[in-house]
Amino acid sequence: MDSRPIPSGRSAAFEYISTRKDELVGWARKFSLFPYPFVTACCAMEFMAVSATPYDTDRFGAALPRFSPRQSDLLMVVGTITHKQAPVLRKVYEQMCEPKWVMAFGACAVSGGFYQNYATLQGIDQIIPVDIYIPGCPPRPETVIDGIMKLQDRIARSKHVILTKDF
């Protein structure tokens, strides 16, 4: 162990810290969500409201929408998805790099909402895995923020594989 005295003018605090790798990576990832807004319907209005200044998802590091799935890690499915759109949504999901999370925003993305007919997909979890469901028609901004925070908790608590054996 180095027992030399600390040079004056430099603080001893936080020269190094100890933490678990998953906690550290999870902490970093949960505050740098790059959403890809897959916005199809009236929930978009609420998405704008929650993104704008009064509610401000930027506080959660989830502000900057990336309009390329390859640069994003949070797929926000905002609005009704039809069967005709389903292949597009599936392709967008497949183009996103790991790690990635999916948010079903609003009743239609969660379950098809009040549409049960020839056209409407009965919830996006029929074709892609979903991490967080936000109910409401449309959801209140508070509900969306609660959903983002729950997703952040989930990210912070999960395993974060950085190097795999195939790397």
Partner 1 sequence: MAPELLQRVRDAVAPLVERFDLSHGMPVLTVAPGRLLETVRRLKEDLRFDLFLDVTAVDWPGEEQRFEVVYHFYSTQHRVRLRVKTRVAEGEPLVDSLVPLYGSAGYTERECHDMFGIGFRGNPDLRPVLLYEGFVGHPLRKDYPKDREQPLVPTRTREGQL
CA 90 to chain centre: 17
Using alpha carbons only, give the angle 139, 145, 151 rounded to the nearest 5 degrees. 110
Q: Does 128 bind partner 1 (CB under 8 A)?
A: yes
Q: Does 114 bind partner 1 (CB under 8 A)?
A: no
- The stretch near partner 1 (CB under 8 A) out of 21-29, 39-47, 85-93, 132-140 is 85-93
Considering the complex, state which of residue 46 and residue 73 has its C-beta at the smaller distance from partner 1.
Answer: 73
The label of the residue with tokens 């996103």 reads 96
- The stretch near partner 1 (CB under 8 A) out of 52-60, 95-103, 113-121, 134-142 is 113-121
Q: Which of 116, 153, 157, 161 binds partner 1 (CB under 8 A)?
A: 116
121, 120, 117, 151: which is closest to 134 by C-alpha?
151
3-class DSSP string for 33-66: CCEEEEECCCHHHHHHHHHCCCCCHHHHCCCCCC
Q: Does 96 bind partner 1 (CB under 8 A)?
A: no
What residue ranges bind partner 1 (CB under 8 A)?
83-84, 86-87, 90, 94, 116-122, 125-129
